[in-house]
Structure formats: structure tokens, C-alpha cells
Amino acid sequence: MIDIKRLTKYYGNLGALVDLDLQIAEGDIFGFIGPNGAGKTTTMRILATLLQPTRGQAFINGVDVLREGKKVRRLVGYMPDFMGVYDDLKVFEYLEFFAAAFGIERSKRKAVIDGVLELTDLAGKRTTAVDNLSRGMQQRLGLARVLIHDPKALILDEPASGLDPRARIEMRVLLRELKQMGKTIMISSHILSELEEMCDQVGIIEHGKLVFQGTIEDIRSRMGVSSKLRVRVAADPARAAEVLMALPAVREVTQQGDQLLVILQDGQAANALIARTLVQHEFDLVSLVPEQIKLDEAFLQLTKGLVQ
């Protein structure tokens, strides 16, 4: 759905983006991760036709972002990190304005507006003044606005910024619902744990360069954590360690209190073998848990040592 090729943007001598290559499949939620100034917003603004790159190409659903901007704007719903609202308008008036701007026929506007209000759980706020909405409701109104013309792709820059925990949960639920409707969603966020829970793929960008793109499991595999297990037996962990060290698939076993950290040989997936071996040697197996890396930990490790 979104295809970026060697996209580059310079501001004077500063390279905000440098030969960025990125692909997002149709119907995916893609998490775009990076510190402030890494190039996330620059990328999103180019895709939304709001900024011209220095060089490179970008396509949305096969349409050239640089050459066919009008068509692209019909395909994309872009929500910036700080979305301006018209405080003196009511919610339905605000959406009516944008429905007219997108050329939706007057006879169809009410049905369209009612639909996006229902989808974003704002139907009960239809006649409320925009400036009386909470921050979370204003963010949902912003999402209603970008949905008004039924775009295929949503480009959301920090949509959870400034939201309280309840509003973030509501936003996450809404994004999953939009995915089920077939929308392709590109979302940037500093709340990495939330991206981990809902994204099909993530991309990590640092100093305008893509450091990593793949699934959460790809990250775990790259960091080597998929080959570590934490094992707990009811008694005699020292003898259990000796038994496991005799297995060809095991590289190292370290006792940590009443549990064992088992490091497997590269490329091995021996969970069932280890469990079976312990049971055969008459150990009571309490737990066997693959060690997982969190997205924020992966981000720090993958970007460690990069210089500007």
C-alpha cells in the first residue's frame, strides 16, 4: 500500500531523511519509531503531500505522491501530532466543513458525519462545542475528520500524545477496529509498549535512516532473545542444570536463585525437548518461559552507538 524508495530530504546541510526505503502492506498497522528529530514527521508530511522531498519516490496504492498529489489526498487521511480545531464550532459543524471541503454531496453529508461520529464514539457529542471536548475527545474528533472521505490509508503522527491512560486505551481499540475495516495505518508514537501490542510491523528510524523494519518477533530474533529460556523446577536446580548442559541444543545454563537461564545454540527452538528431558529425569517442571525483549529495550539496543 505504501512504498517509499530512497526518499531524501535536506534542510540546508542537514539530512532529515537519507535514502529511506520503506514498505507497508495493505491492511497492516505499522509503527514508526524514533526520537524527536529522527525523520518521522518529515516522512509523514511527504506522504501527505505537504512537503516536497529533495529526491526519491513515494507511492500510495500505486499512485505517485510527488506527481499525483490530488489523487493521493483522496487516498490518505493525515492527522498531525497537534491538530488545530475551530473552537467556536460545534462538533457536527466542524465535520460538515471538512465534508464540504472534500466535495461530499450535501444530501450525503449527514449520513457520512453520523457514521464517523458513531465509529469514533462521539455520537453523543454531536452538538457540543469543540472547545468543550476533552483532549481525548478532540483526538477522536481529529480521527473522525480524517475518516470523513473514507481514505484507504491513515497516517497518524503521535495520535496518543497528551492522552490519559483511559483515552489511550480507547484510541488503541479504535485503531484495531479501523484495521478490521481494511484500513492501512501508519502510526508514530513514543509509547512503544502500545505499538508492541497492536502493530503488525514496526520501523525504527534514527538520524533520517531506517535502522530496522520487521515484526516484533523479527526484533526478538535479531536481538538473540528467542534462544533464551527461563526454567524453574520444584527442587535441585543444580542437578537440572547438569542434565540440560548435556543436550547438544544447549549452549549455556546459569542458575539464578531457584530458576535456570538456558541459552540455546543459534537457531535452536528446543522448548519441547527441554521440558521432555526434565520430565524424563523425574524433575517437577514448574515453568518454562521464553525470554522476551520489550520494544523499548530493542529500540535502545538497535540504535546504540549511532552518531549524528
pLDDT score of 172: 86
Residue 145: CA count within 13 A, CB half-sphere: 23
- Same domain, yes or no: 183 and 265: no
pTM, two decimals, is 0.77
pLDDT band at 294 (very low <50, low <70, confident <90, very high): low
pLDDT score of 179: 94
- Same domain, yes or no: 58 and 120: yes
- Same domain, yes or no: 115 and 178: yes
SS3 260: strand
pLDDT score of 191: 67
More confident position, 145 or 86: 145
Indicate whether 35 belongs to any domain. Answer: yes
More confident position, 258 or 5: 5
Please report, rounded to a whole number, the percentage of residues in the chain having pLDDT higher than 70.
Answer: 91
The amino acid at 302: L
- Same domain, yes or no: 57 and 73: yes
- Split into its structural domains, the chain has a count of 2
- Same domain, yes or no: 282 and 208: no
Indicate whether 300 belongs to any domain. Answer: no
Q: What is the CATH number of the domain that holds 238?
A: 3.30.70.100
Question: What would the mean pLDDT of 172-194 be, rounded to a whole number?
Answer: 87
* Boundary (domain end) residue, out of 187, 221, 255: 221
Indicate whether 96 belongs to any domain. Answer: yes
pLDDT score of 308: 38
Burial class (CB in 10 A: 0-12, 13-18, 19+), 234: exposed
- Same domain, yes or no: 206 and 231: no
In angstroms, rounded to a whole number, what is the distance separating the alpha carbons of residues 231 and 240? Answer: 10
Residues spanned by the domain of 72:
2-221
More confident position, 172 or 73: 73
pLDDT score of 266: 61
pLDDT score of 307: 40
pLDDT score of 48: 96
pLDDT band at 254 (very low <50, low <70, confident <90, very high): very high
Number of H helices, E strands in the chain: 11, 14
- Same domain, yes or no: 169 and 207: yes
Q: Give me 205's grid cell.
A: 528510524
Indicate whether 229 belongs to any domain. Answer: yes
SS3 170: helix
Residue 258: CA count within 13 A, CB half-sphere: 8
- Cβ contacts of 44 within 8 Å, gap of 6 or more: 32, 78, 155, 157, 186, 188
For the segment 87-106, what is each residue's pLDDT rounded down to a tens digit?
A: 789 999 999 999 999 999 99
pLDDT score of 292: 66
Q: Give me 155's grid cell.
A: 497516517
- Same domain, yes or no: 166 and 240: no
Residue in the block written with cell 538520524: 207
